[in-house]
Amino acid sequence: MTGRVQGVGYRDWVVRTAQRTGLTGWVRNVRDGRVEILVSGEEEALNALVEGCRVGPPLARVDHVENYPADGEKAHKGFTKRFTA
């Protein structure tokens, strides 16, 4: 995600949203100001998260969301917030 997505509670919002829908993976800030998410789960829940990420929490301004399948990633238990990459 790009836009005003750091310092506005975006990662916490993603964690709560993903956990509520049973998704697994992680979210982290990237040094260039973006937020990066690796997520897996049911297709309907994934689509709902991607659509929700286009808006994000109230203080966020999302300019762009890019999503694509990640091949070869390890399975995750739960959904966590990671530190900056």
Give me the CATH number covering residue 39.
3.30.70.100
Whether the predicted pLDDT of 74 surpasses 80: no
> Is 60 in a helix, a strand, or coil?
coil
Mean pLDDT of 22-29: 94
Q: What's the residue count for the chain? A: 85
On whether the CB atoms of residues 15 and 68 are closer than 8 A, the answer is no
Q: Token pair for residue 64?
A: 């762009």
Which pLDDT belongs to residue 20? 94
- Say which of 16, 29, 31, 34 is annotated catalytic: 29
Is residue 82 part of the annotated active site? The answer reads no
Q: Token pair for residue 80?
A: 């966590």
Give the global pTM: 0.90
80: in domain: no
Q: How confident is residue 85, by pLDDT bands cut at 50, 70 and 90?
A: confident
Identify the helix (H) or strand (E) that includes residue 66.
none
50: in domain: yes
Neighbouring residues of 31: CB distance < 8 A, sequence distance ≥ 6: 84, 85
84: in domain: no
Which pLDDT belongs to residue 76? 76
- Say which of 11, 34, 54, 61 is annotated catalytic: 11
Is residue 67 part of the annotated active site? The answer reads no
